[in-house]
Chains A and B, each alone.
Chain A
Amino acid sequence: MFRIALKMLFRDRAKYAMLVCGLAFCSLLMCQQTSIFCGLMMWTTAVVRNIGAPVWVVDAKVEQANEVIPMRRIEVERVRGVVGVASAVPLYIGIEQAKLEDGSFQNVQLVGLDTGSLTGRPMEVIAGRVEDLNLPDAVVVDQVAVEKFRRKGISLQVGTRFEINDKEARVVGICRVSRSFLGQPHVYTTYDRAMQFAKPARKMLSYVLAEPLPGVSDHELVERIGKLSGLRAIAKDDLFWMTIKWYIQNTGIPVSFGTVVVLGVIVGIAIAGQTFYLFVHDNLRYLAAFKAMGARNTTLAGMVLIQAFSVGFIGYGIGVGLTAWFGNVVLAAEQPPFFMPWQVPVFVAVVILFISAFSALIGLNKVLRLEPAVVFR
């Protein structure tokens, strides 16, 4: 009877199309919006992922990765003195102003890497060499800088010169790194040169990047460094999740995206529930005829369930497929943010399953209470 049930569903084209479109739209909305939310959260953690150090040492008041409370340079040495530290290097991160050839300005995120080791250097280099950062005035810019400068009519390439806070910078490489939450271009240089580019202040050190000796775990090292008064050590993964948690708790982003996702669920329930109810209602007379002919309630329930879950499955497939297509397009353009971990399609599948079950229950309620004698009325 399940084949009969599917034929009844697929051949009622108007309602079938309406059901599939409703559930596909609902899946698309939930999947796409959740993926953009995840992408945005990934952008907030760009600094952690781009630098990639296992242990980050920051001021004790720091709550998330993008919050920089400068420390004294001496803290690097203090961290180096902790037992179990293989290496500890300084990192400078700050928003600086770049002046372009045509006199226009562009805010950039200046990243000062340890001069000797270049710890935290960008991994994907498109042009030039990161090692050339040791040359005078050298900087490495990211693809966002190239894009933003191009919009201002300047072709940024290896050898191009511009100014950061009135000091000359020369591009020796172009790299590809994760975009930051605020979208400023990344400009990499050495820590010492960053001290020259940046506006002078009493404290300039943003982070100390530490690496444990073999046999010492990241968390063990975090604990040992944490005993230094006034400093806070955070393992990379913890800093990643702390940052996401901070944005979720302190910004309106989750409410905004959550509202759209909830609307998607409501629209899905409304369209699918109502259309499926109409579909069952229209077929009630025939289902009663089946019942009169000797179909068991379980058979009829199975028919209704297979109809509901079929449209759910097809709608889900279309919705997630469209989201994947959207993701491919935006990933090529690098914005808006998009990240679809496996949990997103699973979450959407669970919601669609719920909507399908809800729709089926509405119909089932009528079917199970159906008197077969109604076929004679």
Chain B
Amino acid sequence: MSTSTPPAVSVRDVVKTFVSGDSQTRALKGASLEARFGEVLMIVGPSGCGKTTLLSVICGTLGFDSGEIEVFGHNLRAMRSGEITRFRRENVGFIFQQFNLIPTLSAAENVSVPLILHGIGVAEAEKRACAMLERVGLADKTKSRPGQLSGGQQQRVAIARALVHHPRLVICDEPTAALDAATGHQTIQLLKEAAVQPDNCVLVVTHDVRIYGFADRIVQMDDGRVTARFDDPKDLTHA
């Protein structure tokens, strides 16, 4: 990927403060990063350093106080709330630490949700959901409910849900935190195979050192700032 290509995601000097009563907590103190098309960018750092807050402001689920964020050329600061909601619906896929699969819906129904939100009919959405589940190796589990699936299988359903509407930005928050080492390894491998496309970008927040090797690049955060950038993940593991 040429470095002259505009970045998929550009974050510049972003500040975010949480106010609770009289107390204020500055979670982001001028964080900056760039994510490129076709890459998996991992954001790593100790607990409380602002990784998840940064992920939240990039995908527009959380506002920010100052700085600039551009995602695929869209300036989030300039967008109104309804536009950001629409932007998320059309461009972002989510993979959560606790999967957030609806326990009363089948795997296919869970995966079909982003498509239904797009206005696609239920029958067509479930057909595409089943195809996506087949792609992540769960063709025989389309009718199973999350409670009937293992942790790894649930995370694969979550990956299918995140990718079914072909988002340009895939947001993963600790995708392997609830999984054992082997399952986590398989899951991140599947995610990389299924999610990474030349016209999109995958952002992964993680603590899990074992999956650093799957990143194309890594940025390290500490105390609300990006403190280091590693173009080769091995540099961080050796550091």
Contacts and interface: CB of A to CB of B under 8 A. Distances in A.
Interface residues of B, number: 29
Nearest to B57: A373
A292 B59 contact: yes
B52 A293 contact: no
A4 interface: yes
Contacts of A372: 61-62
A7 B104 contact: yes
A292 B92 CA distance: 9
A376 B85 contact: no
Contacts of B96: 289, 375-376
B32 to A, nearest CB: 20
Q: Of B52, B61, B82, B109, which is in contact with the most chain A CB atoms at under 10 Å from its CB?
A: B61
Contact of B116 (A4, A12, A286): A4
Contact of A1 (B61, B86, B92, B116): B116
A11 B173 contact: no
The main secondary structure of chain A at its interface with chain B is helix
B186 interface: no
Contacts of B45: none
Interface in B86-109: 86-90, 92, 94, 96-98, 100, 102, 104-105, 109
B101 to A, nearest CB: 8
Q: Of A283, A291, A371, A372, which is in contact with the most chain B CB atoms at under 10 Å from its CB?
A: A372
Interface string A169-201: 000000000000000000000000000000000
Contacts of B61: 291-292, 371-373, 375-376
Interface in A271-328: 283, 285-286, 289-296, 299
B160 to A, nearest CB: 13
A373 B61 CA distance: 5
Nearest to B91: A294
Contacts of B85: 291, 294-296
A293 B94 CA distance: 7
Contacts of A375: 61, 94, 96, 100
Contacts, number: 75
Nearest to A287: B102
A290 B113 contact: yes
The main secondary structure of chain B at its interface with chain A is helix
B102 to A, nearest CB: 5
Given A8-B104, A294-B92, A1 B56 contact: no
Contacts of B92: 293-294
A376 B117 contact: no
A295 B173 CA distance: 20
Contact of B109 (A4, A12, A291, A371): A4
A3 interface: yes
Contacts of A286: 100, 102
A376 B116 contact: no
A7 B109 contact: yes
A7 B62 CA distance: 29
Contacts of A290: 113, 117
B16 to A, nearest CB: 10
Given A296-B82, A371-B62, A375-B61, 14 more contacts: A1-B113, A1-B117, A4-B113, A7-B105, A8-B104, A8-B105, A285-B100, A286-B100, A293-B92, A293-B114, A299-B117, A373-B61, A376-B61, A376-B96
Interface of B: 52, 55-56, 59, 61-62, 82, 85-90, 92, 94, 96-98, 100, 102, 104-105, 109, 113-114, 116-117, 122, 173
Interface of A: 1, 3-4, 7-8, 11-12, 283, 285-286, 289-296, 299, 371-373, 375-377
20 contacts: A7-B105, A8-B104, A8-B105, A283-B102, A289-B94, A290-B113, A291-B61, A291-B85, A292-B59, A293-B113, A294-B85, A294-B90, A294-B114, A295-B85, A371-B62, A373-B56, A373-B61, A375-B61, A376-B56, A376-B96
